[in-house]
Amino acid sequence: MSVKPAPASAPFVGPFALATLSAPTGPAFPALVTADERVVDLRDAFGDALGDERLTVRRLLENWPTVLPRLRSLADEGSVGRRPLAEFRVHAPVEPRQVFQSGANYRQHVIDLHVAHRAPGDDRPKDERRAEAAELMDRRAEEDLPYVFIGLPSAVTGPYDDVVLPQWAEKPDWELELAAVIGRPAHRISVDEALDHVAGYTIANDLTDRATVFRRDMPQIGTDWLRSKNAPGFTPLGPWLVPAESIADPDDLRLVLKLNGATMQDESTQDMLFNVARMVSYTSQLAQLLPGDLVLTGSPAGNGMHWGRLLRDGDVMDASIAGLGAQRTRCVAEVAS
């Protein structure tokens, strides 16, 4: 079951975006969605050319240099005869092979987490711990490297799908993030080259169970991202993949997350310690980035731990990023089996 997206005067910036849609009966398919919310089935435009029985957005990204000019032409052909977006279900825009997640990349957010996740035995006042974190963040931005780890593609779900909160998740939390979608293979590329390998951007909500972030049974092991971040549906994605050429500056986008109508996160990507180019370049030093892969760039201040209010059954999250549209997801408690 899913909830309807919030009304919007414009779903995204630019003349078109990519999406993965399905009719009430039939398989999911890659689509071009125009600014007036009309749909072009891209199986008709590219299926024969790419030799795919089941064409996907990821397959289009694998051929991005040749696909992009044709998408521009399709967007310019007008909407006569094209079906309205309202007739279709919207899925996650792409099925990634790899998901690279970033932690500790928004200055204010990390300061808040540092204060909230007090180490056992640390009884210092909050102001002292906050000042320590602020100094650490300033030093990181100048001297250190991004913090990147692996997420699971199986955690990805649609932008309007229900999010099932597992029974074991004691402190499920939201984390709105800008996701860069890779369009060209990248390995050991420079910061100056990095954005040339980004096909576009989309919205991700990287849910986290705060109670299982750290291994309490063996503190020396540190974080347990597998358990805390990768439950099925813990990464609502989309709705759109907006081409990079439509985004003037990915390092100056407003992110807003509302919980049951109340604003929880409201920040700009300007607060990132490491911008998109640095994130993509750094990740490529360690791994081979492939078309369709996601590089999540971290979440700003205003998570549930900051507010002392975690997710629970019935909550509705509205998440938006300027120019990329909005997603709406409802939390549903897992039913005991």
pLDDT band of 206, cuts 50, 70, 90: very high
Q: What pLDDT is attached to residue 8?
A: 46
| Burial class of residue 167, CB neighbours in 10 A (0-12, 13-18, 19+) | exposed
Distance CA 261, CA 258 (A): 5
Residue in the block written with tokens 């439509």: 246
Query: CA 107 from chain center: how many Å?
Result: 19
Q: What pLDDT is attached to residue 130?
A: 86
Closest CA to 180 of 115, 96, 121: 96
pLDDT at 287 exceeding the cut of 90: yes
Distance CA 330, CA 71 (A): 33
Q: What pLDDT is attached to residue 51?
A: 65
Number of Cβ within 10 Å of residue 125's Cβ equals 8
User: Are the CB atoms for 222 and 215 separated by under 8 Å?
Assistant: yes
Lowest mean per-residue pLDDT among 24-28, 161-165, 240-244: 24-28
Distance CA 116, CA 208 (A): 14
Q: What pLDDT is attached to residue 2?
A: 53
Q: Which tokens sit at 144?
A: 């250190």
For the chain, the distance separating the N- and C-terminal CA atoms, rounded to the nearest angstrom, is 19
DSSP 7: P
Q: Which tokens sit at 313?
A: 């059954």
Phi, psi of 168 (to 5 degrees): -80, -10
Residues of the chain with CATH 3.90.850.10: 99-333
Lowest mean per-residue pLDDT among 111-120, 158-167, 249-258: 111-120
pLDDT at 165 exceeding the cut of 90: yes
Q: What is the DSSP string of 46-73?
A: HHHHHT-SS--HHHHHTTHHHHHHHHHH
pLDDT at 7 exceeding the cut of 50: no
pLDDT at 277 exceeding the cut of 70: yes
**Structural Rg of the chain based on CA atoms:** 20
Q: What is the mean pLDDT of residues 92-118?
A: 87
Instruction: Compute the C-alpha angle 1/305/283, nearest 5°.
Output: 80
Distance CA 118, CA 147 (A): 20
Does domain 99-333 fall under CATH 3.90.850.10? My reply is yes
pLDDT at 312 exceeding the cut of 60: yes
Q: What pLDDT is attached to residue 9?
A: 43
Give the long-range contacts of residues 116-122, CB within 8 A, separation 24 or more. Answer: 116/305, 116/306, 117/210, 117/213, 117/214, 117/305, 120/219
pLDDT band of 280, cuts 50, 70, 90: very high
Q: What pLDDT is attached to residue 116?
A: 74
Higher pLDDT, 221 or 313: 313
The pTM is what?
Answer: 0.91
pLDDT at 112 exceeding the cut of 50: yes
**Any idea of the CA torsion for 236, 287, 190, 225, to the nearest 10 degrees?**
40
